[in-house]
Amino acid sequence: MKILIPTKLDKAAAATLSAAGYDVVQDDSTPIEELVAAHPDTVGLIVRSEKVTPAIIDSMPGLKCVIRAGAGYDNIDYVYARTKGIDVMNTPGANSNAVAEEVIAMILAAYRYVVPADVTTRAGEWNKKKYMGRELTRKTVGILGLGNIGRLLVKRLQGFECTVLGYDHFLSKQRALNIGATPATIDEIFAQADIISLHVPGGPATKGLVDDRLISLMKDGAMLVNCSRYGVVDEDAIRRARAAGKNITYCTDVHPKDTAAQQPSTDVADVMLPHLGANTREANKLAAMRAASQMEAYFSSGDTTCVINAEKPGDLSAAHLQLSAMLGKLCYHAGGCKPIRKIECTFYNNLRSYRKWFTPWILQGTVPGAEHGLMPAAAEASIREHGIVYKAREPMDDKLYDDALTLDIYMEENGEQKITSVRGMVVDGVPVVSRIGCFDHLYASLPGHTLVLRYEDRPGVIAIIGQIISQAGINIENMVAPRDHESGDSLAVIKTDKPVTEEQKELIAKAIAAKLSFTLSL
């Protein structure tokens, strides 16, 4: 069987696979389009940043497996690959140490003016007085995101005797302390740290996270390092702060596209690298070895543990999988979006035999920024990595809810764990929520725009809600508002034709003295 490696990857992958009896072709100088055309009998493909498009996939009719030697896999059209029965894998964690060390390198380079000092000294200048530097030793370093990279960075900083402040929405305070970081809020980190390093996922949840307000909290002379994703930092906010006289050092390794171009950070970055985080011989070799072992295990024993575009069993409906993700997001917001400590899920009737296939979807719904499309085993590992205990429960014999699903999320608030529970099912092919907390028999559809409000039940509340929504030019498509006789509260679940804005939601919540209010667009 032929394995094609059209990239500059450590030769260890080719050597390992060749020793296992595979016909390996590795060529990083020929364009991938030409290579796949020359080797249509390829069954396994290992890439790094090369684009694996539908045209590339179609050029290899016998292709069975594509492995990205690294964590991200946006360069692979894994959805199209699935339609062709092709499994796509990645090698998460292989590059973590390389990125952690890069952060240290960028900090030291900025503190000691390594780049400008080298350039000017080679030009015959002698700017010793101009480049008066600073020491990393005993500085206060704040880390946003204590995943693989963040944890390794904590370890690397220990040799510099730094005080490390750590923030991770999903880690308990004790786990953060065990890692070696003092738990702190984002505001505390930006106000107290000499150096702030970002290791958070990209996407809508973190876009513009570092804004004018956070930058205003930074000490004069503080440093910000972004080796996470482009867009997490509002670089215009740095420009505005500097124009106002604030002294901020900014180092970045992330850009809109990994390509030769005038990068938007050019005028604002003190140290700027071409996405070199994973670009070490050691990380390259580790990723190569993992890719080779995964490829060999895939063909020799059918191991699909690391597949990220898994196909569900043929008789499990996509609507039920979507239901679990939607319920997860609903439950997370109903609980106040607090750090999750435990997730318990009960599957009823026919869903019991498919429990493991729901794990990736529950992860996707409950954990913002989590990877999508993981295999069940990888999703379980990801849940554990976030410090969350996950349990798929057996239903009680006396509870019959057809093909239903109950999701309980335990969130940490003020040092205590509080439970939020929801239940849902699929009705006529549409995911619906049947219970939120103590409010049962809702049967509200989940797809679309939803406003949820809990308030003390009394006459006239629905009229107030309807008036404010109508004045905003929003139409109510459906509404249920059951009353809990024990608490005296009502829960309004309102479907609208347009999303209710945050400002509109707050206006309604204030007008009716809501005890809980949130919006969802699913």
> How do beta strands 65-68 and 87-90 pair?
parallel
Q: Which of 446, 468, 501 is the last residue of a domain?
A: 446
The residues pairing with 4 across neighbouring beta strands, listed in sequence order, are: 25, 45
Residue 411, domain member (yes or no): yes
Q: Pick from 402, 425, 446: which residue ends a domain?
A: 446
Spell out the residues 6+ positions from residue 72 whose beta carbon is closer than 8 angstroms to its own: 90
Output the domain CATH number for residue 295. 3.40.50.720
Question: Residue 401's pLDDT is what?
Answer: 66
pLDDT tens per residue, range 412-465: 888 788 999 999 999 988 999 999 999 998 999 999 999 999 999 999 999 999
Which CATH number is 477's domain given? 3.30.70.260
pLDDT in tens, 350-368: 888 788 889 989 998 998 8
Answer whether residue 11 is part of any domain. yes
CB 422 within 8 A of CB 436: yes
Check whether 129 has a pLDDT greater than 70.
Answer: yes
Same domain assignment for residues 260 and 369: no
Tell me the pLDDT band of 187, cut-offs 50, 70 and 90.
very high
Over residues 27-50, the pLDDT tens digits come to 999 999 999 999 999 999 999 989
Locate tokens 């103590």: which residue?
438
Do 157 and 103 lie in one domain? The reply is yes
Do 334 and 460 belong to one domain?
no
Residues 522 and 424 in one domain: no
Q: Check residue 396 and give its pLDDT.
A: 67
* Burial (CB count <10 Å: 0-12, 13-18, 19+), residue 101: middle
What is the tally of structural domains in the chain? 4
Lowest mean pLDDT among 185-189, 307-311, 387-391: 307-311
70-93 pLDDT per residue, tens: 877 778 998 899 889 999 998 878
407 and 464 assigned to the same domain: no
Whether 105 and 212 share a structural domain: yes
Half-sphere exposure (CA, 13 Å, Cβ side) for 506? 3
In a domain, 307, yes or no: no
- Residue 26 included in any domain: yes
Q: In angstroms, rounded to a whole number, what is the distance separating the alpha carbons of residues 24 and 80?
A: 25
Residues 470 and 329 in one domain: no
117 within domain boundaries: yes
Range of 470's domain?
A: 448-522
Q: What is the CATH number of the domain that holds 431?
A: 3.30.1330.90
Vertex 311, ends 422 and 287: CA angle to 5°? 105
Does residue 399 register a pLDDT over 80?
no
Q: Which residues pair with 272 in a beta bridge?
A: 252
pLDDT at 292 over 90: yes
pLDDT in tens, 214-254: 999 999 999 999 999 899 999 999 999 999 999 999 999 99
Does residue 521 share a domain with residue 422? no
Query: How high is the pLDDT of residue 242?
Result: 97
Q: 391 pairs with which residues across the strands?
A: 344
Does one domain contain both 473 and 339? no
Q: Are 16 and 293 a contacting pair, CB within 8 Å? A: yes
pLDDT of residue 355: 87
Same-domain pairing of 145 and 246: yes
Task: Report yes or no on 306 lying in a domain.
Answer: no
227 and 344 together in one domain: no
Q: How confident is the model at residue 369 (pLDDT cuts 50, 70, 90)?
A: confident
Q: Is residue 308 part of a domain?
A: no
Contact assessment for residue 146 and residue 171, using Cβ atoms and an 8 Å cutoff: yes
Residues 54 and 132 in one domain: no
Residue 13 near residue 47, CB atoms below 8 Å: no
Residue 305 pLDDT > 80? no
**230: in domain:** yes
